Structure 1
Amino acid sequence: MTEFDPQAPLTTGGQHGYLRIATEEAWATQELMDEWRRMIEAGEGGTGFHSLIGHYVTSDSDRARFVREHLVDSGERRIAHMDAAGVDHAILALTSPGTQAFGADVGTRIARNANDELAEAIKKHPTRFSGLAAVSFEDVPAAVAELERAVNELGLKGLIVNSHIRGRYLSEQEFWPILEAVEALDVPLYLHPNTPNDSMIGTLYEAGLDGSVFGFQVETSMHALKMITSGVFDRFPKLRMVLGHMGEALPFWLYRLDYMHGGMVKAGRYPAIKPLQRTISEYVRENIWITTSGMPAPEPILFSRKVLGDDRVMYAMDYPYNYEPDEVRMQDALPLSLPEKKAFFQDIALDVFDLDENVIRGA
């Protein structure tokens, strides 16, 4: 096992045997930030929105200032931080709650403008950035059209969904044409956290646990499970989904999820729980990839690789919310062979997001 060395140099270029591709890196347009600020000042949005965005837009804390200043950067400042952390390439996506705080008209406009702006940043820095498309889920036909434009014309590599859609979930069949388009385009859906919706946030908010410390994981893992148990992956068996933060803890629950789901199906206890073609753990292992965003410790990484498969776990940083170069060093020191580290940092991301290694290397 390589010992963690806090003084180890971090360099880009892959001379150590692999490129580091960060697969969950947050970004925002100024238009989005301005609209969020307007909502906060007008008292719009729910408890979760004000807890999350109200903090990052208005707080004078060092961390909040760092986040809001660097979210809107898709140029030299972000690249300088990538260089300092040895990150070769970042997959950028509209930060939570993205367009999902708005109705269809505002959300559609912001999504289209964001996709254009992101594509332009990628064009300027093709070796450093790729990106995921944003859509407004409130207008399903418009969302499908924008996703197709973003992938086919702009070259974006997947779809970001910042979990619940003002309290609604992709398990609802109204949204399934969007999932059908994702599957047909053969790009991944990245299911990213949001603060819990207002019908579930109460006790978490009172305890200060509604955000990334715990509430994000609770809400997003529930969203993923709702998608599985509603039959999304039976209807769209080739749909590929990515979960951050070590799979939002799902790898640790697979046995119990299978056992309890099977018992509920037999008992007919809940109308929403129907028989599925596969077990929950099979859907997680076969349709879902996970990233290490904000979860750099070796124990959960190694456990998740064991239960999901070595080809299902890939590197992410979660910049600018998590910008800790020592976390890169921690993952460099994982007790893996060089080919295994190359897959973890580089090859799985190349495959899942259909990235061109030659482009990243500037070849």
Structure 2
Amino acid sequence: MKLIGIEEHFLTAEIRDAWRAIGLDATDPSVAFHSGAIERRLLDLSQDRLALMDETGLDVQVLSLTTPALHDLGPESIDLAKRTNDALAEAVARHPSRFQAMATLPASIPDEAALELERCVRTLGFKGTVLCEKWASAISMTRPSCPFFKAHRHCAPQ
């Protein structure tokens, strides 16, 4: 039996820098928490992470972007999500028996989030996405007409 970590976080330097550029490191405690050794672990998607997985007996990690994700970044989050997902797909391709991925989405732009989820699942082979409570505060995701949930029903694995 494999031991699988289902919500293993990562971070990219580009996202970290975007958070800092809008001052989230001063206003969001979760951003301030991502420093030092924790930041180094979040940024690593290769040998150090694999060594720690081996040391702790974890066979597979299902990777998702750490909080606060892209929720506070606005329109720039569209391209940032695509670049992040492409980088994550490369990490999975390098270590397919060790890593799986959940899509990073531009949460405040539901039409774009829907398109990116579809691309990630159908083209990049991602398993889905992770939603957190900030999604509900960013947009009204409870409406049946929400583009994100329409896309989710059509492309995400059930």
Change (3 A) 1:145 1:36: same
Q: Tell me what 1:115 maps to.
A: 85
Does residue 69 (structure 1) correspond to residue 40 (structure 2)? The answer is yes
Any stretches of 5+ residues in structure 1 without a counterpart? 1-17, 58-64, 189-363
Change (3 A) 1:90 1:170: farther
Q: 1:151 aligns with which of 118, 121, 125?
A: 121
Does residue 32 (structure 1) correspond to residue 32 (structure 2)? The answer is no
Q: Tell me what 1:78 maps to.
A: 49
Contact 2:26 2:32 in 1 (8 A): no
Q: Tell me what 2:62 maps to.
A: 91
Change (3 A) 1:95 1:39: same
How many residues align? The count is 158
Q: What amino acid is aligned across from residue 67 of structure 2 in structure 1?
A: S
Instruction: Compute the displacement of 1:137 (Å).
Output: 2.0
Please give the alpha-carbon distance, in whole angstroms, between the structure 1 residues aligned to 2:70 and 2:126: 17
Q: What amino acid is aligned across from residue 31 of structure 1 in structure 2?
A: E
Instruction: Compute the displacement of 1:167 (Å).
Output: 3.2
1:183-236 superposed Cα distances (whole Å, 9 cap, x missing partner): 222336xxxxxxxxxxxxxxxxxxxxxxxxxxxxxxxxxxxxxxxxxxxxxxxx
Q: Tell me what 1:100 maps to.
A: 71
Please give the alpha-carbon distance, in whole angstroms, between the structure 2 residues aligned to 1:175 and 1:54: 36
Please give the alpha-carbon distance, in whole angstroms, between the structure 2 residues aligned to 1:123 and 1:71: 18
Instruction: Compute the displacement of 1:46 (Å).
Output: 8.4
Does residue 140 (structure 1) correspond to residue 140 (structure 2)? The answer is no
Please give the alpha-carbon distance, in whole angstroms, between the structure 2 residues aligned to 1:32 and 1:175: 30
Instruction: Compute the displacement of 1:175 (Å).
Output: 7.4
TM-score, scaled to structure 2: 0.89
Contact 1:122 1:129 in 2 (8 A): yes
Q: What amino acid is aligned across from residue 55 of structure 1 in structure 2?
A: F
Change (3 A) 1:46 1:69: closer
Change (3 A) 1:70 1:168: same
Does residue 163 (structure 1) correspond to residue 112 (structure 2)? The answer is no
Q: What amino acid is aligned across from residue 21 of structure 1 in structure 2?
A: I
Does residue 56 (structure 1) correspond to residue 73 (structure 2)? The answer is no
Superposed CA RMSD in Å reads 2.2
Please give the alpha-carbon distance, in whole angstroms, between the structure 1 residues aligned to 2:47 and 2:90: 14
1:242-296 superposed Cα distances (whole Å, 9 cap, x missing partner): xxxxxxxxxxxxxxxxxxxxxxxxxxxxxxxxxxxxxxxxxxxxxxxxxxxxxxx
Greater C-alpha radius of gyration: 1
Secondary structure (helix, strand or coil) at the match of 2:137 reads: coil
Identical counterparts, % of pairs:
29
Any stretches of 5+ residues in structure 2 without a counterpart? none
Q: What amino acid is aligned across from residue 30 of structure 2 in structure 1?
A: L
Q: How does 1:195-344 map to 2 (within 5 A)?
A: none
TM-score, scaled to structure 1: 0.41
Change (3 A) 1:108 1:129: same
